[in-house]
Amino acid sequence: MYSVETPSVDTEKLNEILKNHFHLKEFRPGQQEIIQSILQGHDLMAIIPTGGGKSLCYQIISIYKQKLIIVISPLIALMKDQVAALHKLGIPSAYLYSGQDLLEKRLIFNSLAKGGPFVLYLSPERVSKEGFSKWVKDQDITLFAVDEAHCISHWGHDFREEYNQLSLLKELRPEIPTLALTATATSAVLNDICKSLGMKNPLKMVYGFYRPNLFYQVEDCTNEDEKIHFIIKALQQFPEGRIIIYCGTRNNAEEVAYDLSQRFPKVAFYHAGLDTIKRNLIQKNYIDGKTRILVATNAFGMGIDQPDVRLVIHYNIPSDIDSLYQQMGRAGRDQINSTCLVLYSKKDKGLQSYFIESSEAERSIKNRKWRALDSLIAYLEEDRCRHLQILKYFNDTRKISRCGHCDICAPHSNRKVRFLS
């Protein structure tokens, strides 16, 4: 028997790369531990909440090792945003997806042939494309990173069928570490991700679910008029910064947007029923600031990183705490105080119940979704610190008894949206 020596990590070199290439002064909580573990050859499942700096954990590896890393990402818009940001930093990177022309793809492969650091983003579908297996075996790759990894789990809140074949990465190149990243995941989802990716004795790291700059508020509403009244008061209370209002159905999104557009400027709606050109335009207007108030279904959000979202409102409740937390987490990414308001009515539970029962999922999956919905209802109805409940749900190691910035702990806070104001 013999032991394999764990590679040493040059922390001074890491800090130099952080400052010289990414222009950052220090790592955020958990980042350095994750990066060091990957450099030591471990497979790793990391949960870093929205705005916590997930992308740096794999991007810096390419510079440190001077090699190619492959990142699996579910959204073209997300890939484009990250590549654009890396280009501004002078870091070689590109994305491949089916809509590109042959010339553009040829230029990317020519750049890859030169060797050295490179961050290559792929859609999950490309892993099963003809020729991928042979190509990936011939590349000098130092890391596979799977972003938004909760999409691989049947128990997660955003399962995507195309993520199913990603275990092929480990089968083709078992010696290369795999880093799976997501913003939210329960223990069941974590285990499912690790198993589905074929990870070997993966480390699991959970960081930073406590967001002290966010004020959590839940309001019981008896009807839709009451919800609209709350939203109007909230928009009057938050005249600056972007605002996202989540609705449970496409019709609700359109109706709420129309109602608000009669009273406020820069209002738009977004849902999966719109064609691609329309969705891309709405998303661009939101990013450019031409739209300030966006009313959307859960089709909007993944990979959208705008720092100045001051208010996130849930007109209808989502299906589980995972979705709620991820959507609330779009607020306050610049660390400035922001408010997350859930407008809860009993019939919203009926809408989610309908979605569960009308799905074609197996009974075991439906039962999981029922339990997840029950956990969300308990969060909304219990008279306990909102942040404490979130930390306990995600098994965060941080312990608090009272946060001081939710409607339970600070009912008179000026960050709270008031029905009469």
Cα distances (angstroms) measured from residue 196 to each of 106, 119, 146, 169: 32, 24, 12, 11
Element (H, E) at 78: helix 76-88
Structure tokens at 188: 């069941």
Question: Using CA atoms, how far apart are residues 45 and 50, in angstroms rounded to an integer?
Answer: 16
Question: Using CA atoms, how far apart are residues 373 and 185, in angstroms rounded to an integer?
Answer: 15
Decide if pLDDT at 136 tops 80: yes
Q: What is the SS3 assignment for 312? A: strand
> What is residue 183's predicted lDDT score, i.e. its pLDDT?
78
- pTM of the full predicted structure? 0.70
- Taking only the tens place, the pLDDT of each residue in 200-225 is 999 988 877 888 999 999 999 999 99
Looking at the domain covering 11-206, what would its CATH class be? Answer: alpha beta
Residue among 272, 317, 268 at smallest CA distance from 295: 268
Question: Using CA atoms, how far apart are residues 107 and 130, in angstroms rounded to an integer?
Answer: 20
- Taking only the tens place, the pLDDT of each residue in 267-279 is 999 998 999 899 8
Element (H, E) at 83: helix 76-88
Q: Do domains 11-206 and 214-393 have the same CATH topology?
A: yes
Question: Using CA atoms, how far apart are residues 361 and 379, in angstroms rounded to an integer?
Answer: 25
What is the architecture of the domain spanning 214-393? 3-Layer(aba) Sandwich (3.40)
| Domain map (residue ranges) of the chain | 11-206, 214-393
Beginning with the edge strand found earlier in the chain, give each strand of the sheet holding 338-344 in spatial order: 214-220, 338-344, 309-314, 242-246, 293-296, 267-270
